[in-house]
Structure formats: structure tokens, C-alpha cells
A and B are shown apart, each in its own frame.
Chain A
């Protein structure tokens, strides 16, 4: 019983948080669908990070009413969007159109990502090629020769030792 009560209270709480949608009536289901879609695609200019569906601002309310009456008047989704852009600019669209003004906006992030990818690749390949043999500086090859001759020396020592042990074994 307590759980039920808690759930009921929770549900009540959520509905209280949700945007206060005024009750709009539509002729068709399709109109209502476009209405909800547009409300979520159009940005409120007062509370700039909210769609007009979520905003409680006076202007958002007015715009919802405007969209509603335009839909009832038989306007299409495109016509309503155009109406809003004519008045408030591309800014009202959460999904701005692809045109010269917005090229940077659309292509920028991808370009920067590709540039990063390009540099990462180059960086990795550079590391690999420096690990590959055959490209030693004079200093390095001198050091290499030194090391090799040292190695030969110890080889001989080892050989001598084993010879000695062999000899010892024999005696």
C-alpha cells in the first residue's frame, strides 16, 4: 500500500515538472503530430536552451498558439517553419539548414576530427619507422660497432671458459 502511494506521488511529481502544455485541440491526429514535432524543433528565443515545447516563457506560449492556429488554417510544416525563420532567423531552428553561412558549423567538427585522425596516424607511423633498422646516425653506428666488438670479446671468453671446463673435466 505504501509503495503504491509512493508511486502515485512520484507520478504526480513528474507531471508537475513537465512543461505546462496548454490544452490544444486538433482536427486530425496528423496535425497534432506536426504540432508536437515543431514544438520540439523550434527554439525559444527567451530561454535559449529550451525548445518552445518546454519553455514557460510568454513568447513560447504565444508561438505555440500561433503554430496551433496555423495548423488549423491548413498550413504545412514547411510553411510554419518558413514563417518562423522569416521572423526570427535560422536561430529558431534547432537543426539549422546547410548553406554557406553555416558551412563551418556543419563541416567544422568533422574537419577537425579528420585532421586529428591524420596527425594521429602520422605520429604512429613516425614512431614505427624510427624503430625500423637501417637509419642509424654516424654516432649510433659507431656505438653499434663498439657493442658488437664487445659482444665478440665476451663470446671468445665464454668459449675459452667452456674449453677450460672441458679440460678440467678431462683431467
Chain B
């Protein structure tokens, strides 16, 4: 036993480091999970008027952060459209984009959003802890953030994780 101690310690270190290798350092867990959605009032991308974050309450909503310059947003867009077709309420959050580019992007690829807000300078996104696109927040009826997807929702694991939480909160809320 004594003489195997170094080997055992070495083995534990290998396991620890191997587990570390399988984790993605780009995924930074959001401290906002379980907290109320940060307030914002942003202009609509299409047409006049503003959208207030208070309007997120009352319905389970996805807030999908996207931009026309974001390649992965294009990849996930089909899945976002499918979600919308299945009856999910989705708000688009256009992040640090040019109005025309964003409008053109939606015209080209289809607009699955109930409403799209434009955060041109990215100031509101800071409050949401956004550090890239795409990111998708799941907000429950009481306006509490329940889940955050970092990266495209079209990724199978991202999609399954999101749907698991959707199921969970629609179960006890509807």
C-alpha cells in the first residue's frame, strides 16, 4: 500500500486533469440564473416604439441574442424557427448590429420573433452578462431567468438541456 501511494496520487491527478480537459472554458456559468431578468427599454428593430422588459412577464419566453455578423446565429436560426412554430414565445435581442444589416438578415432567413429589440451599443447586453452571440435566456412567467444557453441552440446538448428546463417550468407553472 505504502509504495503504491505515489502511483495512486498520480492516478488521481490524471483523472482530475482529464476531467478538466473535457470541459469547455468558453462556457462561463451565468450568475443571473434564478434572478429576475435585468430591466431594459430598447427600441424595436422593425418599426417605431420601444419594448420594456416588464413585458417579458406572464409567459414563458426565450430571449435569443443574435446579430447579423454572427455566423453561429445563422446556423441555429432554423431551430429557433422550429421552436417558434411549436408555440414558444421568442423575443429577439439584436446585439451590437447595424439596423439595416439586421433587418435584411431577418428578411432573408425568416423572422420567428414575436418582437425584436435592438441594442446597438450593447449597453443593455452588459446587464444581461452577454459576452457573445448567440446566447439564449429562458425566462419564466414571473420574469425570472431559469436557464441560459451559450452558443447555438441547434447544438443537440444545448437543445436537450434547454428543453429539460422548459418542461420542468411549464410543468409547475401552467
**In whole Å, how far is A82's beta carbon from the nearest beta carbon of chain B?**
11
A66 at the interface (CB under 8 A from B): yes
Which of chain A's residues have a CB closer than 8 A to the CB of B32? Answer: 87
Chain A interface main SS type: helix
Chain B interface main SS type: loop
CA distance A74 to B11 in the complex (A): 52
* Contact among B5, B123, B131 for A119, CB-based, below 8 A: B5
User: Which B residues from 1 to 34 make CB contacts under 8 A with A?
Assistant: 5-6, 9, 25-26, 28-32
Asked if A88 meets B128 with Cβ closer than 8 Å, knowing A58-B96, A59-B122, A62-B121, the reply is no
CA distance A134 to B127 in the complex (A): 74
B126 at the interface (CB under 8 A from A): yes
Asked if A59 meets B131 with Cβ closer than 8 Å, knowing A87-B126, A89-B28, the reply is yes
CA distance A45 to B128 in the complex (A): 13
CA distance A61 to B32 in the complex (A): 22
- How many residues does chain A have at the interface if contact means C-beta atoms less than 8 Å apart? 16
Q: Mark A49-72, 1 if CB is under 8 A from B, else 0.
A: 000000000110011001000000
**In whole Å, how far is B4's beta carbon from the nearest beta carbon of chain A?**
13
Asked if A63 meets B96 with Cβ closer than 8 Å, knowing A87-B32, A89-B29, A91-B28, the reply is no
**In whole Å, how far is A53's beta carbon from the nearest beta carbon of chain B?**
17
A48, A59, A63, A85 — which one has the most chain B CB atoms within 10 A of its CB? A59
Which of chain A's residues have a CB closer than 8 A to the CB of B29? Answer: 89, 91
B110 at the interface (CB under 8 A from A): no
Q: Mark B107-123, 1 if CB is under 8 A from A, else 0.
A: 00000000000000111
User: Which A residues from 24 to 51 make CB contacts under 8 A with B?
Assistant: 45-46, 48
Which of chain B's residues have a CB closer than 8 A to the CB of A45? Answer: 28, 131-132
A146 at the interface (CB under 8 A from B): no
B58 at the interface (CB under 8 A from A): no
Asked if A85 meets B31 with Cβ closer than 8 Å, knowing A46-B131, A48-B26, A115-B9, the reply is yes
* Contact among B28, B126, B129 for A66, CB-based, below 8 A: B126
CB<8 Å pairs between A and B, sample of 8: A46-B131, A48-B26, A62-B123, A62-B126, A63-B126, A87-B31, A87-B128, A89-B31
- A residues lining the B interface (CB < 8 Å): 45-46, 48, 58-59, 62-63, 66, 85-89, 91, 115, 119
Please list the 6 inter-chain residue pairs (A to B) with the smallest Cβ-Cβ separation, ordered nearest first: A45-B131, A87-B129, A89-B31, A91-B28, A62-B122, A88-B129
A62-B126, A89-B31 known; 20 new pairs, CB 8 Å cut-off, are A45-B28, A46-B131, A48-B25, A48-B26, A58-B96, A58-B122, A59-B122, A59-B132, A63-B126, A66-B123, A66-B126, A85-B31, A87-B32, A87-B127, A87-B128, A88-B131, A89-B29, A115-B9, A119-B5, A119-B6
